[in-house]
Homo-oligomer: A and B are copies of this chain.
């Protein structure tokens, strides 16, 4: 925790019984938390509440008690009786509920279509329209992205409440208009900018960054900067969030960390390996092909995840069996016999075979023991061989032992392959 002037606090309430049975995990809380933190708020709490009105009331009171200047809610704006958020928020803000005719006209159009699909019509549909057009008096309606309008509710003397729909696409789509609502814009004008810095490293153990931070703290007062480190997608993320006035310190700390671990830096501006790899392949006009065993197509899937990837992904083969490795990627049968299917030699042959078969510039081969069975003393579960080869002779090979469950090992294998590909096509000094 840092010291220094506090940032204004914000709270998030996500509604929906399905969040409380564990049927679904909440996407809106983290999304909103990131947006609010980047706007300069300190997010105090994310609270989930079910469909009971008293639970939602209690959640709003709890956040108000935590001293937040802003509450953002998601969900409970639909046309059915279960959808109670607007009414509860009106009660919280001490406002009456009134029908807004402009909103009713907007919803009429949208709900006619929705009603037809959901089998609602006649009085039920009119009731749904009226319900969704009923908003807290004096609040600012936000135009629907799906079927439900959002709300900005300015409670005199209390926190500002921004009420958004639950479907993530609708919530995210409505966010820009929420930011422009006069009451929210006025609040934002008082919030000191966040200036967050996100550094991302690959292959850097947490203990090394901990040691670096201890050394920096010994010579610099970093109490104004909140420093978080977390392992994500096999990368070590260092998140620096200066309190107002500590921006220069954060900048200095970031510079110092980068200077000490430059060889393992992925990005100091928050870019992902996926973005950097796509950019490097496009800039250099290169294509890539995959030969996967234990990752079973996940690397290819990750590569084509980006729009426009057909420009640089030639294709891939998932060669699970030895016969497929030989028949589809020309891995010599006697190589598999001699070295085993999981070996640096076969990883290289998979990379070369994929590159040649697809006529690509860069090939990547992965073969390993994902477990839970199949491990031996020499090649235990988690032992994975990687190789990236290019038409102009670059060869990068690794054979680490990765930790975790079968799913972890496969995910980390894909992460590792992405980073090795990046090093092959956009080399950094001294790390490949």
Residues of B within 8 A of A358 (CB): 321, 324, 327-328
A406 within 8 A of B: yes
Give the nearest-CB partner of A230 in chain B.
B18
- Of A34, A297, A357, A359, most buried by chain B (CB within 10 Å of CB) is A297
Whether A321 and B316, one on each chain, are in contact in the complex, defined by CB atoms closer than 8 angstroms, is no
Which residues of A in the span 144-184 have a Cβ within 8 Å of any Cβ on B?
169
Whether B317 and A52, one on each chain, are in contact in the complex, defined by CB atoms closer than 8 angstroms, is no
Chain B binder among A249-257, A301-309, A385-393:
A301-309
Which residues of A in the span 322-377 have a Cβ within 8 Å of any Cβ on B?
323-324, 327-328, 357-359, 371-373
Whether A44 and B55, one on each chain, are in contact in the complex, defined by CB atoms closer than 8 angstroms, is yes
- With A58-B66, A301-B301, A315-B321 given, is the CB distance from A307 to B19 under 8 Å? no
Whether A318 and B297, one on each chain, are in contact in the complex, defined by CB atoms closer than 8 angstroms, is yes
A199 within 8 A of B: no
Whether A315 and B315, one on each chain, are in contact in the complex, defined by CB atoms closer than 8 angstroms, is no
Contact of A373 among B27, B43, B308, B410 (CB under 8 A): B308
A37 to B50, CA, bound (A): 13
A352 to B195, CA, bound (A): 55
Whether A321 and B310, one on each chain, are in contact in the complex, defined by CB atoms closer than 8 angstroms, is yes
Shortest distance from the beta carbon of A155 to any chain B beta carbon, whole Å: 20
A320 within 8 A of B: yes
- With A43-B20, A314-B324, A315-B321 given, is the CB distance from A27 to B30 under 8 Å? no
Whether A232 and B34, one on each chain, are in contact in the complex, defined by CB atoms closer than 8 angstroms, is no
A379 to B62, CA, bound (A): 51
- With A19-B33, A230-B24 given, is the CB distance from A45 to B46 under 8 Å? no
Per-residue interface assignment for chain A, residues 7 to 42, with 1 indicating a CB less than 8 Å from any chain B CB and 0 otherwise? 000000000011111111111011111111100001
Contact of A407 among B36, B305, B407 (CB under 8 A): B305
A264 within 8 A of B: no
A211 within 8 A of B: yes
Whether A304 and B320, one on each chain, are in contact in the complex, defined by CB atoms closer than 8 angstroms, is yes
Shortest distance from the beta carbon of A360 to any chain B beta carbon, whole Å: 10
A157 to B203, CA, bound (A): 50
Residues of B within 8 A of A25 (CB): 25-27, 29-30
Whether A47 and B50, one on each chain, are in contact in the complex, defined by CB atoms closer than 8 angstroms, is no
Contact of A316 among B32, B55, B317, B407 (CB under 8 A): B317
- With A297-B290, A315-B324, A357-B328 given, is the CB distance from A207 to B33 under 8 Å? no
- With A296-B300, A297-B304 given, is the CB distance from A232 to B45 under 8 Å? no
- Of A31, A35, A228, A318, most buried by chain B (CB within 10 Å of CB) is A318
A226 within 8 A of B: yes
A300 to B293, CA, bound (A): 11
A221 within 8 A of B: no
- Of A31, A62, A241, A405, most buried by chain B (CB within 10 Å of CB) is A62
Residues of B within 8 A of A18 (CB): 228, 230, 239
Residues of B within 8 A of A420 (CB): none
A21 to B310, CA, bound (A): 34
Whether A206 and B303, one on each chain, are in contact in the complex, defined by CB atoms closer than 8 angstroms, is no
Whether A237 and B23, one on each chain, are in contact in the complex, defined by CB atoms closer than 8 angstroms, is yes
Whether A21 and B228, one on each chain, are in contact in the complex, defined by CB atoms closer than 8 angstroms, is yes
Whether B228 and A17, one on each chain, are in contact in the complex, defined by CB atoms closer than 8 angstroms, is yes
Residue positions of A touching B, CB distance < 8 A = 1, 17-27, 29-37, 42-52, 55, 58-59, 62, 65-66, 82, 117-119, 169, 206-207, 210-211, 226, 228, 230, 232, 237, 239, 241, 290, 292, 294-301, 303-305, 307-310, 313-321, 323-324, 327-328, 357-359, 371-373, 404-407, 410
What are 7 A-to-B residue pairs whose CB atoms are below 8 Å? A19-B46, A20-B44, A21-B241, A26-B26, A296-B301, A301-B410, A327-B357
The 6 closest A-B pairs by CB, nearest first: A22-B34, A297-B300, A297-B297, A296-B304, A22-B33, A298-B301
Other contacts beyond A22-B32, A297-B299, A310-B321: 18, CB < 8 A: A1-B51, A18-B228, A21-B228, A23-B34, A23-B237, A24-B232, A118-B206, A296-B297, A297-B297, A297-B298, A298-B298, A300-B318, A304-B318, A305-B407, A313-B320, A314-B321, A315-B321, A317-B328
